[in-house]
Chain A
Amino acid sequence: DVKVTQSSRYLVKRTGEKVFLECVQDMDHENMFWYRQDPGLGLRLIYFSYDVKMKEKGDIPEGYSVSREKKERFSLILESASTNQTSMYLCASSLWVRDRGLASKNIQYFGAGTRLSVL
């Protein structure tokens, strides 16, 4: 089974703190993703990465950055946490798929989530 592990289930931080959210996957997936989940808004993509040291902005990258130094690890960084970043953060991973014949591999697997509260 694919395992996506997020380092913390719950975090409480103060406004202005630098926050690191860590995610590790054990299936050698090329793609890794960071989402935030808010009631009534669904999942919104913050950043994703399709290779080591590669990153692309998602739909809501403002106030966030990411780091992918190793294939299995993808970190989300809040440089200066603000109260509007209080949310559930979900990490996901998947294989990189270009070939239609491999479409069945293109499934995203999610971690348990980190509920971040910024006070």
Chain B
Amino acid sequence: AQSVSQHNHHVILSEAASLELGCNYSYGGTVNLFWYVQYPGQHLQLLLKYFSGDPLVKGIKGFEAEFIKSKFSFNLRKPSVQWSDTAEYFCAVNSLYGNNRLAFGKGNQVVVIP
């Protein structure tokens, strides 16, 4: 079964700092990759996704992620964070030709200090 690893569960940083969250998955076949974000008190929403094509994908609010197939990775980045980026971030992966279910990582709790 697909498994997803996210390291450094708690991340604390100051405004304007750069953010990078790692995501590694186990299955080497054709996959779809996602980052979801959950702001405090809000529902889980899609931040960005990769299906095919350019491995560098851009999402909402200045986030981007890079798919590196050889490393089974899909790391999330933002060059300069804001206080409003305080949230929990989840990486998710699925195998398209499976049963459409997603495997989620355990999440990164990011706190941005003003």
Contact = CB atoms under 8 A, between A and B. Distances in A.
Given A42-B90, A103-B32, A50 B44 contact: no
A31 B100 contact: yes
Nearest to B102: A108
Interface string A10-48: 000000000000000000000101010000111111001
B39 to A, nearest CB: 12
A41 B106 contact: yes
Interface in B81-97: 90, 92, 94, 96-97
A111 B43 contact: yes
Interface in B30-53: 30, 32, 34, 36, 42-46, 49, 51-52
> Chain B at the A interface: mostly helix, strand, loop or mixed?
loop
B65 to A, nearest CB: 15
B43 A42 contact: no
Contacts of B32: 103, 106
Nearest to A56: B99
28 contacts: A31-B100, A33-B101, A33-B102, A35-B104, A40-B107, A42-B104, A42-B105, A42-B106, A43-B44, A43-B104, A43-B107, A48-B99, A50-B99, A56-B99, A94-B100, A97-B96, A97-B100, A100-B30, A100-B52, A100-B96, A103-B32, A103-B52, A104-B51, A106-B32, A106-B100, A107-B46, A107-B49, A110-B36
Interface of B: 6, 9, 30, 32, 34, 36, 42-46, 49, 51-52, 90, 92, 94, 96-97, 99-102, 104-107
